[in-house]
Amino acid sequence: METKGVGVYLEIIPSPHRLMAKRAGHVFKVDADLCFGCGACVALCPPDALDIVEQIAIVDEQTCTHCEHCIPACPVFALSIGLGTND
């Protein structure tokens, strides 16, 4: 188990490796037309696979576990996991 929290508030986050296994042919996608670099996804990424570069979220697909913690945090629905390439 991994923990994240500040002060007296502590949230227990299950290991992303136990939540979801990567599916063959699926990649994490960021819609660059929607993303404005707010960083909400970065703050919730357990394996630290996301970063903000030039106000766009960028994923390190090798580090990403496809746990989907970040997807519901995006206020503009710019994040997804789907078939294809990370273009």
Q: What is the CATH number of domain 20-83?
A: 3.30.70.20
Mean pLDDT of successive 10-residue segments in the chain (87 residues)?
51 52 86 96 93 95 90 95 75
Among candidates 39, 57, 59, which has minimal Cα distance to 49?
A: 59
Report the helix count and the strand count for the chain, using DSSP H and E: 2, 6
| pTM beyond cutoff 0.95 | no
Question: What is the C-alpha to C-alpha distance for residues 22 and 10, in angstroms, rounded to an integer?
Answer: 28
Residue tagged 């090798």 (tokens): 62
Domain ranges of the chain: 20-83
Distance CA 20, CA 84 (A): 18
